[in-house]
Amino acid sequence: MAASDIAQRAQFLRDQLNYHNYRYYVLDSPEIPDAEYDRLFRELLEIEAAHPELLTADSPTQRIGGLPLSGFSQVTHRQPMLSLNNAFDENEVIAFDRRVREAAGQEIIEYEVDPKFDGLAISLTYENGVFIQGATRGDGYTGEDVTQNLRTVSAIPLRVASDTPPKLLEVRGEVLMLHKDFAALNAAQREKGEKTFANPRNAAAGSLRQLDSRITASRKLAFFAYGVGEVQGWKLPKKFSDIMQQLKQWHFPVASESEVVQGVEGLLDYFQHLGGKRDKLAFDIDGVVYKVNDLQLQEELGFVSRAPRFAIAHKYPAQEEITQVLDIDVQVGRTGAITPVARLAPVFVGGVTVTNATLHNEDEVRRKDVRIGDWVSVRRAGDVIPEVVSVMEDRRQDDVREFVMPDKCPVCGSHVVRLEGEAVARCSGGLFCPAQRKQALLHFASRRAMDIEGLGEKIVDQLVDNAIVHNPSDLYKLGLVKLANLDRMAEKSASNLLAAIEKSRSTSLPRFIFALGIRNVGEATAKDLARHFGKLDVLMAANEAVLTQVTDVGPIVAQSVAQFFAESHNREVIEQLRAAGVHWPESEPRRTHGIGALAGKTFVLTGAMPNMTRDEAKERIEAAGGKVAGSVSKKTDYVVAGAEAGSKLTKAQELGVTILDEDGLLALLNPEAQGKLEF
């Protein structure tokens, strides 16, 4: 390709990518599949790598972040970024409108009204249409240069969408994080055991102020424009709302909730109307902003100290308030997850009275160090469950008490277990626990489990709510009369359901194992377990080490399975199911050295072996189902003695315990190679 063709191709790709980025992030209406976007993106990356001279400031490849900075430099705003006066009630709004009317000598004022975004104010500078600098508000006069980071925000145009852009354009707006991205970020932080962010605003601020722009790029930030600063080479229209229209045409994201209204009634209606939608918005707002729409009048009204006379923010009730933790107890979710919940002194927050707030999990309680009796900051925003954000440590009294995670499920009394590496503790009585009943039954009946056609959510709800069915075994005791008496259940569908239940009595072992709803045991694992163990009783007797011998079963699944069968409540329900006639063909366990080879055998290791460390030997013995003990007793089956074995060897000899060397141990571990000890 000729050099000029390559340059043209690069320009074409930039334009395409910028356009599709706009369709995706600003209009939320993509035109091409992600894969196609990625293809164009890679092509541009390749061209720029081969021809660095073609790299431009508005290239979408610059959105992925660059090398970390050692610090941010200062930027002096061409026009100061001022603040707004607040109105906390209607009277203050009425007074504002009166002042404007009197100064203007007009009966009725036209206002442009928008949400007051609860994020971070920023200023974006475009020279001849190209984004060249982005800065935080700072003290209003000087902010920090966060250009690199802002480039990674997909909703910020890298170029003004116009063939005749202004010579200079400063766009003012707010960077924020949408609720869904905030929830995902905190969930990921929690999962990693890292600090969570108190609210989307803090998360946005923390993400924007990263010296490493690649971190900013990995956080999903949003942007909305709400005005302009210095403008050169574009004649401003007469109305503020027309500036916003123009920004939209230049591909800047503008809140779809913005409107133009007349007079103070228009303002108050808008406040009510948006307030009603506040919980459903995708982002936090802390109020609405009213701006005089006539730009000439705006100029005449001017400023008092650092705030304009032509605009005011009308605030909604705060989404974060302080209250006291009266108690901390736990809630059991549908999947058995046990969540600590703070019981609070009632507090009005985010427009409702809140008395409970989630503390997510035990680690989070410790990380935030929330204690019973503490004063805490509680947040409720959008549809999100209220949560305890932080503790007011300076208000802590001596009599606060620490939370203790219960070891029994408060709903069913089964053991509470927390699997290794998991943040969440769970009730282990999956088949038995009333909190998990509905979920367990629906799963049990599902197509790939027991395949009971017709046992849907509505019927399960009624069966459980009317205390007809407590656990899956009760399904097999149902009669036609009970079923036909349920709401919206005709006799025909009742008898169809009975037939489906009857049919499910005869099943297969993989289906039955899957139907039990053991955490981390999907259909494929259920099949692996069934194939490996052949019989349910053998599976139920397997310990974790034996379970990890199964193809594709790692320590986490092994733990889940072992915990499930260790819970006596679950074993009882399984017995009841068998007693009710649920059956399946069984087979012989697989001939493998793994299961049972060393099951039930106790080893003691002493002295140094030539090839294996003691840890390795222990691991391999346990993986084959054996146990390794620290001292020799009558119960010891084998002592593995290496060089310089000491008193343990003597003791073994005294007790007549079998003594093995490394080869002897290997022979036990690997019976197939030796042709003995097969299961």
Instruction: Tell me how long the chain is.
Output: 679
Which stretch in 307-315, 414-422, 523-531, 628-636 sits in contact with ligand IVH by CB under 6 A?
A: 307-315
- State yes or no: residue 284 binds ligand IVH (CB under 6 A): no
Nearer to ligand IVH, 20 or 116 (CB): 116
Shortest Cβ distance from residue 172 to ligand IVH (Å)? 7
Shortest Cβ distance from residue 218 to ligand IVH (Å)? 24
User: d(Cα 82, Cα 139) in Å, to the nearest integer?
Assistant: 9
Residue ranges in 414-473 that form contacts with ligand IVH under rule CB under 6 A: none
Closest by Cα among 360, 286, 367 to 319: 286
Q: Which residues of 427-447 are buried (b: 16+ CB within 10 A; e: fewer)?
A: bbbbbbbbbbbbbbbbbbbee
Query: Which residue in 57, 64, 84, 484 binds ligand IVH (CB under 6 A)?
Result: 84
Nearer to ligand IVH, 16 or 136 (CB): 136
User: d(Cα 321, Cα 323) in Å, to the nearest integer?
Assistant: 7
Q: Are 320 and 378 in contact (CB under 8 A)?
A: yes
User: d(Cα 223, Cα 601) in Å, to the nearest integer?
Assistant: 64
- State yes or no: residue 629 binds ligand IVH (CB under 6 A): no
Cite the DSSP H helix spans in 65-209. 90-104, 147-151, 179-191, 200-208
Residue type, 492: K
Which stretch in 79-87, 177-185, 332-340, 538-546 sits in contact with ligand IVH by CB under 6 A?
A: 79-87
Please tell me the count of residues contacting ligand IVH according to CB under 6 A: 15
Residue type, 669: L
Query: Which residue in 83, 218, 592, 670 binds ligand IVH (CB under 6 A)?
Result: 83
**Residue at shortest CB range from ligand IVH:** 121
Shortest Cβ distance from residue 198 to ligand IVH (Å)? 18
Which stretch in 25-33, 116-124, 443-451, 533-541 sits in contact with ligand IVH by CB under 6 A?
A: 116-124
User: d(Cα 341, Cα 514) in Å, to the nearest integer?
Assistant: 31
- H-helix or E-strand containing 225? strand 222-232
Query: Which residue in 227, 350, 589, 594 binds ligand IVH (CB under 6 A)?
Result: 227
Q: Which residues of 594-603 are buried (b: 16+ CB within 10 A; e: fewer)?
A: bbbbbbebbb
Shortest Cβ distance from residue 126 to ligand IVH (Å)? 19
Structure tokens at 589: 């366990």
Query: Which residue in 96, 117, 240, 514 binds ligand IVH (CB under 6 A)?
Result: 117
CA 340 to chain centre: 17
Q: Would you give the end-to-end CA distance of the chain in angstroms?
A: 69
Query: Which residue in 30, 138, 308, 406 binds ligand IVH (CB under 6 A)?
Result: 308
User: d(Cα 340, Cα 115) in Å, to the nearest integer?
Assistant: 35
- State yes or no: residue 226 binds ligand IVH (CB under 6 A): yes
User: d(Cα 217, Cα 312) in Å, to the nearest integer?
Assistant: 34
Q: Would you give the binding string for ligand IVH spanning residues 148-187, x where CB under 6 A is met?
A: --------------------------x-------------
Which stretch in 40-48, 305-313, 468-476, 656-664 sits in contact with ligand IVH by CB under 6 A?
A: 305-313
Which stretch in 78-86, 242-250, 385-393, 486-494 sits in contact with ligand IVH by CB under 6 A?
A: 78-86
Nearer to ligand IVH, 174 or 364 (CB): 174
- State yes or no: residue 648 binds ligand IVH (CB under 6 A): no
Nearer to ligand IVH, 258 or 504 (CB): 258
Residues labelled catalytic: 116
- State yes or no: residue 313 binds ligand IVH (CB under 6 A): yes
Nearer to ligand IVH, 242 or 661 (CB): 242
Structure tokens at 313: 């923010």
Shortest Cβ distance from residue 299 to ligand IVH (Å)? 13
User: d(Cα 512, Cα 444) in Å, to the nearest integer?
Assistant: 8
- State yes or no: residue 297 binds ligand IVH (CB under 6 A): no
DSSP 245-295: HHHHHTT----TT-EEEEHHHHHHHHHHHHHHHGGGSSS-EEEEEEEESBH
Query: Which residue in 55, 69, 82, 215 binds ligand IVH (CB under 6 A)?
Result: 82
Structure tokens at 616: 């390795």
Q: Are 102 and 250 in contact (CB under 8 A)?
A: no
- State yes or no: residue 121 binds ligand IVH (CB under 6 A): yes
User: d(Cα 207, Cα 177) in Å, to the nearest integer?
Assistant: 10
Strand residues in 92-199 grouped as ranges (E): 110-117, 120-127, 130-136, 142-144, 168-176
Shortest Cβ distance from residue 121 to ligand IVH (Å)? 3
Shortest Cβ distance from residue 173 to ligand IVH (Å)? 8
Residue ranges in 85-114 that form contacts with ligand IVH under rule CB under 6 A: 114
Which stretch in 115-123, 330-338, 379-387, 573-581 sits in contact with ligand IVH by CB under 6 A?
A: 115-123
User: d(Cα 144, Cα 72) in Å, to the nearest integer?
Assistant: 6
Cite the DSSP H helix spans in 534-597. 536-541, 544-547, 555-566, 568-579
Query: Which residue in 116, 190, 426, 601 binds ligand IVH (CB under 6 A)?
Result: 116
Residues with Cβ within 8 Å of residue 420, at least 6 apart in sequence: 555, 556, 559
Q: Would you give the binding string for ligand IVH spanning residues 185-224, x where CB under 6 A is met?
A: ----------------------------------------
Shortest Cβ distance from residue 516 to ligand IVH (Å)? 52
Residues with Cβ within 8 Å of residue 170, at least 6 apart in sequence: 77, 78, 79, 123, 124, 125, 126, 228, 229, 230, 231
Nearer to ligand IVH, 308 or 333 (CB): 308
Nearer to ligand IVH, 114 or 528 (CB): 114
Which stretch in 77-85, 403-411, 415-423, 467-475 sits in contact with ligand IVH by CB under 6 A?
A: 77-85
Shortest Cβ distance from residue 93 to ligand IVH (Å)? 16
Nearer to ligand IVH, 174 or 544 (CB): 174
Shortest Cβ distance from residue 74 to ligand IVH (Å)? 18
Nearer to ligand IVH, 311 or 357 (CB): 311
Structure tokens at 113: 């009204």
Strand duo 375-379 + 352-358: pairing: unpaired
Shortest Cβ distance from residue 137 to ligand IVH (Å)? 6
- State yes or no: residue 137 binds ligand IVH (CB under 6 A): yes
- State yes or no: residue 555 binds ligand IVH (CB under 6 A): no
Residues with Cβ within 8 Å of residue 33, at least 6 apart in sequence: none
Residues with Cβ within 8 Å of residue 4, at least 6 apart in sequence: none
Closest by Cα among 194, 198, 202, 246 to 225: 246
Query: Which residue in 244, 289, 292, 521 binds ligand IVH (CB under 6 A)?
Result: 289
- Residues engaged in binding ligand IVH (CB under 6 A): 82-84, 114, 116-117, 121, 137, 174, 226-227, 289, 308, 311, 313
